[in-house]
Structure formats: C-alpha cells, structure tokens
Structure 1
Amino acid sequence: MILFQEKRLGKYLAKAIALTLLVTYGLLIIGSFIISNPEDGPGVDISILGFFRAVILSPAIETVLMIFTTQILLAFVSVRLVYISIFNALLWAGAHSVFYPLWGIFTFFPFFIFTNAYLDWRKHSKKIAFFAAFSIHTALNLSTFILIWFEGVLLS
C-alpha cells in the first residue's frame, strides 16, 4: 500500500480523511495569512441542490475521471505508483486552477490522497477502490460545505 499499511477499509478511510482535512485546511489557514481573504474561489449554493452537486455529484464525476486518467497512466507508463499519484494530482490541480487560480494549490494534496486511495484498494476490487477515493473526496467537500454554511449562518 502506498499511503497507509492498513488492511481495514474503515480505518484506512478515517486516517486518509483526517490527513486530507488537516493538510488541506492547514494550507488554507497558512494561505490566508499570505493572501488577504481572496474572493477568488468557487461559489457554493447552500441548498439541497447545492449540497447534492458539491457533496455527491462533483466528487462522483471527478472520481470517475480521476480513475480514468489513472488507468491510462497505468496502461502506458511503468513508473512507481507514487509518481502516478503526483502526476494525477498535478493534472487535477491544473484543471481546478483554470477556473480559480488559487484553487489548484489547495486541490493538489487531496487529489494525491484520492489517487493513492484508489491505487491502494484496487487490488481488492475496483468498486472498493472507487468507494475509497470517492469517500475521502466527499468528506472533504462535505466539510467545506458545512464550513460555508456556518459562515453564512454566523454572518447573517
């Protein structure tokens, strides 16, 4: 396994989600000291539809596309799996930067973790591998949705 030497999916996911949240929000906090409150970021619609898009639909679509690029890399490139994770994370950070330049910086690490989760669990089954990557992605988006919702509640 690339990320954690964990045989139980639940424990693996708990560790991966914790690591993803700590690093991502740590980078956001550090970034907020360097860049004063950038308005340059994705808007999130705080509604049932917005929740579905941000927490379910977007992670599902992005996870399927991430798996597709991972499978292509696995088929044509014979390098260590960690390099596939790095390349995939760079690809997704670049894609997110197209829409919001700073967003790419904060998506590199999560996509590195998502790709690792897929690669770690694909030996068991592709369904479990998808579920692992999707679950971590969903947890990150859910936490962001909740924080944005709380911000709206507190500021209104």
Structure 2
Amino acid sequence: MPNKRDTFNRRLLEAIKNGKDVRSVPARVVKQAAEQAPYESDIQQACIRWFKRNYPQLAEEGMLFHIANEGIRLGGMGARTKREGVVKGVADLCLSIPMHGFGALYIEMKRPHCYQRPEQKAWQANVEKYGSKYVVCKSVDEFAIEIRRYLTR
C-alpha cells in the first residue's frame, strides 16, 4: 500500500504530465507532504557532513560556510543586525571558490515541496547578475551533484 508521500508524488507527476496546473493539487495534500518532509536544518546539516567527508581540505579551510541570516530577532536586535549587514533573501550556504567563470557558489536549502520566497528570488537574480552561481537544493543528493559539478575542473 503506498504511503501519503507516494500518493502525492504520483498525483503531482500526473498533473505535470497532463499539463495541468500543479497548483490544482489540493493545498491540504501539499501541506501534509511538506509536514512529512525533513526539516531544512536537518538537510543542511547532512549536506555539511557530506561535504566534510568528501572535501575535507576545503571544509577545514572554511571554504563552505553557512550565512546566518535567518531567524526572528526581538527588541532592537533586528535593527542592529540590519545595520550589521543582514540582507533579506541571502542564500544559506556559500562555497567561496571561483570556478568556471563564477565568483562563488551560493546554495539555498529548501525542504521538499517548499519554494523560494520573493526576496530570495530577487537576491538570486542580483547575485547571478554579478557573476556568481546560485542553486536551490532540497536533498543531500542534489547538493552532492551541484558541489561535484561546480568543483570539477
């Protein structure tokens, strides 16, 4: 018997194949699928572990790092962090190595069935305009593919 996630994925695939608007999938089904997915933080931590195993020298040198730009700040902390340079929409991770004509690789982590917010799309457009690569990853497998592709000479 298929689980709820399999059912959702099958319905989503059918909607895409038949040219239907994917948004025609009921919101409650999308919400259930999202609730069953791993947390973004868990995916990101697994990606960092993978990177440390596969690229220990780069990890040791700090070339892949998290940009701590999220969270709710109470009191005057929000204003202070803005003065310190916090920008809405910035990607979660940066691989600070120029490759293939790009200045760096920025990685936005998302849970399966979750998508970029408008400010993240705007930041992506800006960072690409100035010569860096930007990708969205929803799993360790996607992350590994993007990292390998980027670091291959």
Identify the structure with bigger relative contact order (alpha carbons < 8 Å, sequence gap 6+).
1
TM-score by length of 1: 0.26
The two structures have a TM-score, normalised by structure 2, of: 0.26
Q: Which has the larger radius of gyration?
A: 2
Q: Give the structure with the larger helix fraction.
A: 1
